[in-house]
Amino acid sequence: MGFWKIMNAVAWGLCALIAFQLIADVVRVETARIRESKEQGRQ
């Protein structure tokens, strides 16, 4: 396996990692927001 083929795989891996981190953070923020608005609604 050549150097550039390894680098291509590393680039794909980094793409997946960043995408996962972005999605995870958005899910966390939006869940917190929904929970907060529900609590405010109850009060």
Distance (Å, whole) CA 28 – CA 7: 31
Pair of tokens at residue 3: 């150097």
Q: Choose which of 27, 32, 34, 35 interacts with other proteins (CB under 8 A).
A: 32
Number of residues in contact with other proteins under rule CB under 8 A: 19
Note whether 27 binds other proteins by CB under 8 A: no
**How far is C-alpha 7 from the chain's CA centre?**
22
Note whether 22 binds other proteins by CB under 8 A: yes
Note whether 38 binds other proteins by CB under 8 A: no
The least CB distance from residue 24 to other proteins, in Å, is 12
